[in-house]
Amino acid sequence: NAGVTQTPKFQVLKTGQSMTLQCAQDMNHEYMSWYRQDPGMGLRLIHYSVGAGITDQGEVPNGYNVSRSTTEDFPLRLLSAAPSQTSVYFCASSCSLGGQRDEQFFGPGTRLTVL
Amino acid sequence: AQKITQTQPGMFVQEKEAVTLDCTYDTSDPSYGLFWYKQPSSGEMIFLIYQGSYDQQNATEGRYSLNFQKARKSANLVISASQLGDSAMYFCAMRVPDDCGSRLTFGEGTQLTVNP
């Protein structure tokens, strides 16, 4: 299993540009989420999904959109990038039927810089 | 609202000694789960240990143990016999209720440095 994969690993954007951060998992997890990590602030939840077709807002959703058309994929869209969105973004997943451990598994992160 | 507090921005320990990283939480829900994650300088998030609010015994995973004091709402991580590779940022997190579909709330982290 590849676990949780994220692409790209690094990205530089100009203010106003849009882009999509990709996230995929191959563990048949129902729950997926996106976090951002800023220095000294821990991880903050952006959006999450409890299953295909179901998404909801987290703590800091403004400026981001998500969709969940399949169990495996959970892309995060930046609509119009702003310097305040410079951060490290983590995707995570958890919950599979019959699973013995249900901690959240994290992807390797995407480091985004908005100029 | 749920809240996780880690009051130690940085901690230092000598190699082979034990260290305790503090975590306090706030929730009025009787069902919650507590987690510790390690984030080395390479950036990945590594799950260390989990404690459910209804668990009678403190969780242990190898050199990691969770000192769960429910009345004080604390869930401190104890690392025994520290190793140089334990130098990392450590995050305490909570989900309420304790269901794998619940959102995780993270503390701000503690940077641990293990000295040779």
Contact (Cβ atoms closer than 8 angstroms) between residue B79 and residue B94: no
> Where does the pLDDT of residue A101 fall: very low under 50, low under 70, confident under 90, or very high at 90 and above?
low
Under 8 Å between Cβ of A38 and A87: yes
When mean pLDDT is compared across A43-52, A81-90, B52-61, B100-109, the lowest value belongs to B100-109
Residue B43 touches chain A, beta carbons under 8 Å:
yes
* Paired residues of B13 in beta bridges: B114
Residue B101 pLDDT > 90? no
Look up tokens 């530089």; give the residue: A12
Output the six-digit token pair for A49: 């999904």
Position A40 scores a pLDDT of 72
Instruction: Taking residues A80-91, report their average pLDDT.
Output: 96
pLDDT at A98: 52
b/e per residue A18-52 (b: at least 16 CB within 10 A): eeebebbbebebbbbbbbbbeeeebbbbbbbbbeb
Report long-range pairs for A57-64 (Cβ below 8 Å, ≥24 apart).
A58/A33, A58/A34, A58/B103, A60/A36, A64/A34
Torsional sign, CA B43, B44, B45, B47: negative
What average pLDDT does range B20-49 have in this prediction?
Answer: 95
Q: Does B17 touch chain A (CB under 8 A)?
A: no
With a cut of 70, say whether residue A100 has pLDDT above it. no
> By the CB < 8 Å criterion, does B12 face chain A?
no
Contact B91, A42 (CB under 8 A): yes
Task: Say yes or no for a CB contact (<8 Å) between B47 and A33.
Answer: no
The span from the CA of A5 to the CA of A8, in Å, is 9
HSE-up of B47 (CA within 13 Å, CB side)? Answer: 17
- With cut-offs at 50, 70 and 90, classify the pLDDT of residue A97: low
User: Do A106 and B100 lie within an 8 Å CB cutoff?
Assistant: no
